[in-house]
Every structure is written in structure tokens, then in C-alpha cells.
């Protein structure tokens, strides 16, 4: 009889886990999922059969693929198009930091040059010489530049796209790769137009004129009008830079989206939210992999768990740019004392305890906070191990800190 009750309880746990897993990934938009749909289907099938070990094996492999999936982005364009500045902006690297892509007044790129992202080691941006610089035909140029290694190409210009660049795009398309036309330095164009026509200046009209000039170039070269992204490397939240990032995320394979999303700068609140949702998926997957307990979580937590939690919290702070080093840079750039920035955020103090408060009491307090803020998660009938409750709390707090700092500066 005891065995019967035990088996029944296990089956109920499996069904709870399956329904929660299915519900969670159903509400996640297709373009935001960090694992392929066929992988999700496989996990659900294992859970439906009560095969927890099989589900955990698929999840383990999926997480490993996410961690190790290389992302290679090719950036090309003629001298003066702003390639180096664009690469530095994508990497979140300032002009005087180490390993910065060199920006100068003479051509600096005569061969392809790799730049690793400082936080996401699987992401590499490749600075390619302009096709006109090497005087190659598009196909020869792509072979010389090892085009098969890249996930997609970004073609930059600061004035108008040349026939060589349009022919290059056609060849990239024939080779079944994605490319994006990016018109840089639109802020400079707007400033110049405003100086010339101070009384009649119309920002929207000027931007439309820039876009129309690019479209006309496509038409004159018998090429389908492609989407054109107007950006400023100095003001990333303005113009089409956020749209460009969204488009690239959607076009990437699911397992490569996660690290690319984490690499992006906190230029808008939607960008921060996207980072939060992506990391939330990894916490769910890790929690499922670790196993689900069908009991209310206990608070008997070992000190090695505490150290792991500290590492996880610091990891989130680095990814969201609210760690001590990032705060120092932010304070310098915004000319605000770093202590002032630290006063308006909460994550640095999450694991601090008062002398009279034990870690057990602190954990209970955090679980209570989490229950209030995430009732839907806790009310689902599935209870994660205690460490995962805290990971969600850390993630939510760090996300809010990033938004608070964005508004402040």
C-alpha cells in the first residue's frame, strides 16, 4: 500500500512538472526561446512518460549547447563607415579600454581582425576590410574572408552604399547567409542639416530623406529594397539600433540567442527585460535539471550553497552592468559619485545579514518576498529547490537595478 501511494505521488509530481514546463514555454514567444522547439517537445515527451532522467539528459545537453555555441558576426564597409566604433559599441568597450577596435583617421583594417566580447567569450565580432579596399570580386572576397564562419554580415556605410557592397549582399544571399544594411552617423547628418536649416529643420523628414537615398541606390542597381537601419554609434538608444538588435536576435538559431542577448548593452528598458526573460529560461531549465521537490522548500542550506549563490548573484550583476567595476565606469561617464549610484540600487546588499539575523531567517525573509512578487510561480503547485527561489529573487533585483541606473543616467 505504501508503495502504491509512493508511485501515485511520483506520478503526480511528474504531471505537475510536465504541466508547469509546458505552460512556461508556451507563454514564451518563439523568437525569444533559447532552445529549439524540437528540444522543448523532447523534454515534454520525457516528462509525460515520467522519464525524469531522460528529460534531465536533454536539458543538460541543451544548456551545454547554449554555453558553448559560438557566435561570429562579420562587420564590413568602406573606410570611414564607422566599423570600429560600431564594434566597440556592440562590445560595450570605451575608446581607451584594452582590446578596443582601433578608430583612426587612416584605414586600419587590411585583413580580418577578431574582437572577443569582454563578457561573453563565445561571441566574436570580425572587423573585415571593405570590399573595395582589397579590389576583389564579391565571391573571391567572401572566400578570402572565410564567409562560412559567420552567422551574419553587417554592411555599414556613412553616406551611400556602393555597387560593390550591393553586389556583395547579393552574393551573401546566394550563399544563404543573412546580411543587414546599416547607415551610420545619422546624428551627424541631422546636426549638419539643423545648422543649415535652423528655421525649417524637420528631424523626421530628414531621416526619411536619408532612408530614401539608400532605397534609390538599391533601385538604380536593380536590387530589391532591403530593410535599412539608420543608427548612431554614439547614441545607441536612438534611431534604429534597437530594431537592428531585435532583428538579429530573431534571425539567430535558438541556442545562439541567449548569449547574444546577454552581450547587448542596457540601452533601453525592453533590452533589459529581454535579458531578464532569457536568463529566467536558464533558471527554469537548471531547476528542472536539478529535480523538482513536491514539498514546500526547506531552509536548511549549507555554506557551499551560500558561496554558489554569491557567485550567481555576482554573475548576474556583471551581465546587467551593475557590478562594482561597471558602476565605476558609469560614475565616471556620467560625472556622478559612485556612492550615489550605489545608494539607489539593491543587489550589492542582497546577501548582507544583520548580526542578529541567521542565514536561515534571511532565507525565510527572501522566500516571503519572492512569494509576494511571484505568486503565479509559487502557486503553480511545483516547488523549486530553495537555491532556485533565490536565483529568481537575484535576477529580479538585478534587473530592476539596471532599469533604475538607466533612468538615473
Domain spans in the chain, listed from the N-terminal domain onward: 2-67+266-408, 70-252
pLDDT at position 14, please?
Answer: 57
Provide CB contacts within 8 A for 229, sequence distance 6+.
180, 181, 182, 183, 239, 240, 241, 243, 244, 247
pLDDT at position 87, please?
Answer: 94
Which pTM does this prediction carry? Answer: 0.83
pLDDT at position 355, please?
Answer: 55
Determine contact, residues 229/178, Cβ cutoff 8 Å.
no
β-pairing, 152-157 with 71-77?
A: parallel
Helices and strands: H and E segment counts in the chain: 18, 6
pLDDT at position 154, please?
Answer: 96
Residues of the chain below pLDDT 50: 1-10, 105-106, 292-302, 373-383
Q: Which helix (H) or strand (E) holds 88?
A: helix 83-91
DSSP for 138-172 reads HHHHHHHTTGGG-SEEEEEESS---HHHHHHHHHH
CATH architecture for residues 70-252: 3-Layer(aba) Sandwich (3.40)
pLDDT at position 296, please?
Answer: 37
- Give every strand in the sheet of 113-116, ordered side by side: 113-116, 123-127, 71-77, 152-157, 178-183, 228-230
Beta-bridge partners for 392: none
Determine contact, residues 210/187, Cβ cutoff 8 Å.
no
Residue whose entry in the numeric block shows the C-alpha cell 571593405: 130
> Measured between alpha carbons, how far is 262 from 268 in angstroms, rounded to an integer?
14
β-pairing, 113-116 with 228-230?
A: unpaired
pLDDT at position 353, please?
Answer: 63
Amino acid at each position: 500500500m505504501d508503495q502504491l501511494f509512493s508511485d501515485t505521488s511520483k506520478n503526480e509530481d511528474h504531471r505537475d512538472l510536465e504541466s508547469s514546463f509546458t505552460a512556461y514555454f508556451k507563454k514564451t514567444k518563439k523568437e525569444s526561446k533559447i532552445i529549439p522547439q524540437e528540444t522543448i517537445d523532447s523534454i515534454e515527451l520525457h516528462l509525460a512518460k515520467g522519464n525524469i532522467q531522460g528529460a534531465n539528459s536533454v536539458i543538460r545537453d541543451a544548456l551545454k549547447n547554449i554555453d558553448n555555441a559560438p557566435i561570429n558576426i562579420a562587420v564590413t564597409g568602406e573606410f570611414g563607415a564607422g566599423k570600429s566604433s560600431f564594434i566597440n559599441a556592440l562590445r560595450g568597450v570605451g575608446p581607451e579600454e584594452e582590446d578596443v577596435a582601433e578608430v583612426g583617421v587612416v584605414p586600419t583594417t587590411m585583413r580580418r581582425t577578431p574582437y572577443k566580447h569582454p563578457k561573453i567569450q563565445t561571441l566574436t565580432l570580425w572587423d573585415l576590410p571593405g570590399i573595395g579596399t582589397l579590389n576583389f570580386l564579391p565571391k573571391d572576397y567572401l572566400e578570402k574572408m572565410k564567409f562560412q564562419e559567420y552567422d551574419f554580415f553587417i554592411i555599414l556605410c556613412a553616406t551611400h552604399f556602393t555597387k560593390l557592397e550591393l553586389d556583395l549582399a547579393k552574393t551573401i544571399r546566394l550563399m544563404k547567409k543573412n546580411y543587414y544594411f546599416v547607415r551610420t552617423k545619422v546624428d551627424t547628418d541631422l546636426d549638419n542639416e539643423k545648422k543649415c536649416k535652423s528655421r525649417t529643420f524637420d528631424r523626421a523628414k530628414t531621416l526619411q530623406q536619408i532612408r530614401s537615398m539608400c532605397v534609390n541606390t538599391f533601385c538604380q542597381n536593380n536590387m530589391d529594397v532591403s530593410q535599412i537601419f539608420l543608427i548612431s554609434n554614439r547614441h545607441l538608444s536612438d534611431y534604429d539600433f534597437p530594431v537592428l538588435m531585435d532583428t538579429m536576435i530573431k534571425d539567430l538559431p535558438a541556442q545562439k540567442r541567449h548569449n547574444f542577448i546577454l552581450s547587448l548593452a542596457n540601452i533601453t528598458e525592453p533590452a533589459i527585460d529581454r535579458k531578464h526573460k532569457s536568463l529566467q529560461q536558464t533558471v527554469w531549465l537548471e531547476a528542472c535539471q536539478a529535480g523538482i521537490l513536491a514539498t514546500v522548500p526547506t531552509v536548511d542550506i549549507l555554506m557551499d550553497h551560500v558561496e554558489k549563490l554569491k557567485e550567481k548573484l555576482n554573475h548576474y550583476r556583471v551581465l546587467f552592468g551593475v557590478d562594482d567595476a561597471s558602476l565605476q565606469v558609469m560614475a565616471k561617464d556620467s560625472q556622478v559619485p559612485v556612492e550615489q549610484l550605489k545608494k539607489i540600487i539593491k543587489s550589492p546588499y542582497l546577501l548582507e545579514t544583520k548580526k542578529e539575523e541567521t542565514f536561515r531567517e534571511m532565507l525565510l525573509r527572501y522566500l516571503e518576498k519572492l512569494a509576494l512578487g511571484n505568486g503565479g510561480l509559487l502557486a503553480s503547485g511545483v516547488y523549486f529547490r530553495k537555491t532556485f527561489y533565490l536565483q529568481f529573487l537575484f535576477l529580479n533585483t538585478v534587473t530592476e537595478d539596471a532599469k533604475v541606473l538607466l533612468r538615473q543616467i
